[in-house]
Amino acid sequence: MENKNKYLLYRAVRVIRGVMSSIYYSFFSISRTKTIIFNSACNEEFTWNAKSLFLNGMQRFHELGYKTYFVIDNDKERLKLKKLYGDYFITSKSKTDNKIILKSAVWVLSTLETPSSGVFLNRNRFVYHLGHGTPIKNIGLMERNVSTPKRIFYFLNKSNISVFLSTSSFFLEYMSKAFGVKKERIVIAPQPRIDDFISKRERGLIKKVTGYKYILYAPTWRHYSDTKLFPFPDFDLDSFSERLKANKIIILLRLHPRFENDSKPYLCDNIISFDSKKCPDVSDSLWEVDGLITDYSSIYCDYLILNKPVAFIPYDRDLYEKEIGFSTDYDAITTDMKLKTVDDFFNFISRFDSFDFEKYQSTLSGKINFCPDGVSATEYNVRFIDGEYKKRWLM
């Protein structure tokens, strides 16, 4: 108990210091360096859109005269990343590095957590929230039964983030409501991670057997119950596995990182784990799989861009709608490939070669994904950030 109290006191002191520092650098020390700070998931992870833009856009940013850093507070992970990519990784735990963070002109975030804590952080700074997925299920202030602390957090974030990315105009109004900001603070732009899976670059994450098709099965988590895998009334693991072998199918099973142990009873020769240890960022593997099956995960929105087969197993749709809800009508933003039985599953597989649902998927992808013509997602966002920098400091 004493150690816990010490930790809570330590965290409280850090937050207070962060607020004081943020106010000082927002209102008094307002000079800014031409530096871009990236971060993701509470400064603990090197993931999602911030990671993609950092890696793919680094050279372009340097050509434009920017310094770039990614904040990683985990010492071991930061050291590993420095060895891989160079001396571009800093920590908010260091006074020296935190000064670099607070004096920088631009911040780029994957999540709502900022590189350095505080308020008024978008004052004399451009803070760009990229997000980490398309809002298929309810997010932010649109979630069911939003708590008072969460409402306060989102209210304070209005003073921290300059603009929020929306993956298409279709979600613009929803994103405005979800973050509690005016539509003018929502920008329609491509997710930087698009470039990671349309590059067709083999990363060796999947050890493939020649002649086999690989299906990524990635259901999302539920706060109200465990996720049911292969929730077909006629499912039997042994017979199902035999049919997979006969059809030369390998299923890559990927659950939410917090619930990966739930998959063990289903693993066999043709159903293998594809957890976060084997593939930390699932975007890196999308191009390499032949098809995707999910339920309510926004991963399918990215996958549609590749024009490959997508199917859904929304076995508890009514309950999910009641407990969590969707940003819009579920049927309007998903394909008609809803799998209810084992035969439905193998019928979906049998259509891979003809792929007779490509046209509908392409239309759906255009509805929920903004992909600019003639320029990469990386270059689009580099130009946008550079433009915002020039508005504030060169005009």
pLDDT one-digit tens code per residue, 45-68 = 999 999 999 999 999 999 999 999
The burial class, CB within 10 Å (0-12 / 13-18 / 19+), for 31 is exposed
**What is the rounded distance in angstroms from the CA atom of residue 305 to the CA atom of residue 330?**
19
Q: Which contiguous run of DSSP H or E holds residue 153?
A: helix 148-157
**What is the rounded distance in angstroms from the CA atom of residue 295 to the CA atom of residue 219?**
5
pLDDT band at 7 (very low <50, low <70, confident <90, very high): very low
- pLDDT at residue 156 greater than cutoff 80: yes
- Whole-number mean pLDDT of the chain? 91
Average pLDDT rounded to a whole number, residues 299-318: 95
CA dihedral of 259, 300, 340, 215, whole degrees rounded to 10: -80
SS3 content of the chain, % helix, strand, coil (to 5): 45, 15, 40
SS3 128: strand
Residues in the chain, overall count: 395
Residue 26 contacts residue 110 (beta carbons within 8 Å): no
Q: Which contiguous run of DSSP H or E holds residue 312?
A: strand 310-312
CB atoms within 10 A of CB 266: 17
87-103 pLDDT, tens digit each: 999 999 999 999 999 99
Average pLDDT rounded to a whole number, residues 303-329: 95
- pLDDT at residue 1 greater than cutoff 80: no
pLDDT band at 230 (very low <50, low <70, confident <90, very high): very high
pLDDT of residue 356: 76
pLDDT of residue 13: 62
Of 11-15, 101-105, 261-265, the least confident: 11-15
Q: Which residue has the tokens 């109290």?
A: 5
- pLDDT at residue 134 greater than cutoff 70: yes
| 385 vs 278, residue with greater confidence | 385
Average pLDDT rounded to a whole number, residues 121-127: 96
pLDDT of residue 198: 83
The DSSP output letter for 260 is: G
**What is the rounded distance in angstroms from the CA atom of residue 315 to the CA atom of residue 330?**
13
pLDDT of residue 9: 60
- pLDDT at residue 11 greater than cutoff 60: no
pLDDT band at 260 (very low <50, low <70, confident <90, very high): low
Report how far apart, in Å, the C-alpha atoms of 197 and of each of 19, 40, 57, 327 are: 38, 19, 15, 25
- pLDDT at residue 3 greater than cutoff 60: no
Q: Using a pLDDT cut of 70, give the percent of the chain over it.
A: 93
SS3 123: coil
pLDDT band at 360 (very low <50, low <70, confident <90, very high): confident
SS3 275: coil
- pLDDT at residue 278 greater than cutoff 80: yes
193-204 pLDDT, tens digit each: 999 888 766 666
| 128 vs 278, residue with greater confidence | 128
pLDDT of residue 5: 58
**What is the rounded distance in angstroms from the CA atom of residue 319 to the CA atom of residue 266?**
24
pLDDT of residue 204: 66
Distance of CA 79 to the CA centre of its chain: 24
Amino acid (1-letter code) at residue 200: K
Phi, psi of 211 (to 5 degrees): 90, -10
Question: Order of strands, edge to edge, in the sheet holding 310-312?
Answer: 271-273, 249-253, 213-217, 291-294, 310-312
Average pLDDT rounded to a whole number, residues 114-130: 95
Which ranges constitute the DSSP H helices of the chain?
A: 2-27, 48-63, 75-85, 95-103, 148-157, 172-179, 194-198, 237-246, 299-304, 317-323, 342-350, 358-368, 377-393
